[in-house]
Copies of this chain bind each other. A is one copy, B any other.
Amino acid sequence: MLPVVLLSHRGPATFRRTRSGLTLKRGAGGLVTALMGLAEHLDDAVWVCAAASPADALIAFEHEGHSIEIGFSPELHVVEEDDTAVGPSVNVRYVEVDKHRHSQFYTQIANPLLWFVQHGLYGLANDPEFTADTHKAYEDGYVVVNEQFADAVVEEVERVGGRAVVMLQDYHFYLVGNSVRARCPDAIISHFVHIPWPGPDGWRVLPVQMRDGMLRGLLGCDVVAFHTRRSARNFLSCAQEMLDLSVDFQAMTVTVPTSRGGTRKVAARWYPISVDVESVEKLAASEEVAAHRQVIEQLHLNDGHRLIVRVDRTDPSKNIVRGFRAFGLMLDQHPDLRGQVTFLASLMPSRQDVPEYADYLAQVGAVVAEVNARHHGEGWQPIDIRLQEDLAFAVASYQLADVLVVNAVNDGMNLVAKEAVLANSRDGVLLLSENTGAHDELGDFALTVHPFDLQQQADAMYEALTMDRADRAKMLAAAADRVTKNDVGQWLRNQLSDLEGLID
Binding site for B on A (CB under 8 A): 119-132, 134-135, 198-202, 204-208, 230, 233-234, 237, 240-241, 247, 249, 316-317, 321-322, 325, 329, 356, 360, 363, 409-410, 434-435, 450-456
| A353: min CB distance to chain B, Å | 17
Whole-angstrom CA separation of A360 from B124 in the bound complex: 12
Q: B240 near A230 (CB under 8 angstroms)?
A: no
Chain B contacts for A241, CB-based, 8 A: 230, 233
Nearest CB of chain B from residue A229's CB, rounded to whole Å: 9
For the A-B complex with A123-B123, A123-B124 known, give 11 more contacts whose Cβ atoms are closer than 8 Å.
Answer: A121-B124, A124-B410, A124-B452, A130-B452, A130-B456, A134-B453, A199-B202, A199-B237, A201-B234, A233-B240, A240-B249
Q: Given the complex, which residues of B lie within 8 Å of A434, measured CB to CB? A: 204, 208
Interfacial chain B residues near A450, Cβ < 8 Å: 130, 207-208
With both chains docked as a complex, state the minimum distance between the C-beta of A177 and any C-beta of chain B, in angstroms.
Answer: 24
Q: A130-B456, A455-B135 are in contact. Are A125 and B207 (CB under 8 A)?
A: no
Q: Are A316 and B409 in contact, with the CB atoms below 8 A? A: no
Contacts of A230 in B (CB 8 A): 200, 241
B-side contacts of A249, CB under 8 Å: 240, 247, 249
Q: How far is the CA of A416 from the CA of B199 in the complex (A)?
A: 28
A-B contact pairs, 17 of them (CB 8 A): A121-B124, A124-B410, A124-B451, A125-B316, A125-B360, A129-B325, A129-B452, A131-B455, A199-B199, A199-B200, A199-B202, A199-B234, A208-B450, A233-B241, A237-B237, A240-B249, A247-B249
Asked if B124 and A204 sit within 8 Å, CB to CB, the answer is no
Nearest CB in chain B: distance from A214 CB, A: 15
Tell which of A316, A325, A456 has the most Cβ of chain B within 10 Å: A456
Q: How far is the CB of A449 from chain B (nearest CB, A)?
A: 11
List the B residue with the shortest CB-CB distance to A456.
B207
A132–B455 contact, CB under 8 A? yes
Partner of A122, one of B123, B208, B240: B123
B125 touches A121 (CB 8 A): yes
**Given the known A-B contacts A125-B409, A240-B233, are A454 and B201 also in contact in the complex, defined by CB atoms under 8 Å?**
no
Q: Provide the residues of chain B in CB contact with A129, threshold 8 Å.
A: 322, 325, 452, 454
- Measured CA separation A450–B322 after assembly (Å): 32
Nearest CB on B from A167, distance (A): 27
Q: Which residues of chain B are within 8 angstroms of A119 by Cβ–Cβ distance?
A: 124
A200–B410 alpha-carbon span in the complex (Å) = 13
CB distance from A424 to the nearest CB of B (A): 27
When A204-B434, A234-B201, A237-B233 are in contact, do A452 and B128 touch as well, CB less than 8 Å? yes
A201 touches B131 (CB 8 A): no
